[in-house]
Copies of this chain bind each other. A is one copy, B any other.
């Protein structure tokens, strides 16, 4: 059994803990290659037993092995780890709104954005690289399993994304870019939005390059001058909340 801590270029990743393993098995059992179980029966409550029964029903291999948990860097309280194939998802080309994240750099933020995306009915997240790894176990943990409900596709540039998904058939996708700009519109003043849009957010430290004002409607969240800006996951979640209320 060859195993090592997660690496970005690996084809496999890991879901740590009962909640994530359950969420993965419920949504994408076909991706699971095997599940590791801490062989300490005294710690196995009702929830673990239910999940194990579900995994057995799906004919997923369960391996009892304590050492794996150390090798993979799990916490003491972690009793289950699912090893899984990272999926090669593509975005829904038309009829659903996209979230576009340009160079997100923090796994906690990316995970929280995924949670909010699922909460507010989004299914598609485009990530422009360089960016934090969406399938890093830390991101998966921060997403609380929301990642398994999403289509996530990486692009090496916004232009690449836009070529594929900007103009599908006769319906141009409307772009909204979160940035301060003299033409920026208040989020609160945006009213009806068709589903064929994308909301674009920049990096935590640097935001979006000024050039996005040429290809997108710049928008901003009205806020006090006393603070530099909102946290990225907060700002993008407020935008998703607001847009999802307009339907």
Of the residues B19, B115, B121, B145, contact of A234 by C-beta under 8 Å:
B115
The range of chain A's interface size is 20 to 34
Q: How far is the CB of A28 from chain B (nearest CB, A)?
A: 13
Q: What 0/1 pattern do residues 106 to 131 of A give for CB contact below 8 A with B?
A: 00100010011011110000000000
Q: Judging by beta carbons under 8 Å apart, are B119 and A230 in contact?
A: yes
Main secondary structure on A side of the interface with B: helix
In the complex, what distance in Å separates the CA atom of A231 from the CA atom of B238?
Answer: 12
Whether A146 is near chain B, meaning CB under 8 Å from some CB there, is yes
Whether A226 is near chain B, meaning CB under 8 Å from some CB there, is yes
Q: Judging by beta carbons under 8 Å apart, are B120 and A234 in contact?
A: no
Of the residues B120, B229, B234, contact of A233 by C-beta under 8 Å:
B234
List residues of A whose CB falls within 8 A of some B CB.
19, 108, 112, 115-116, 118-121, 142, 144-146, 149, 188, 221, 223-224, 226-231, 233-234, 237-238, 241, 245
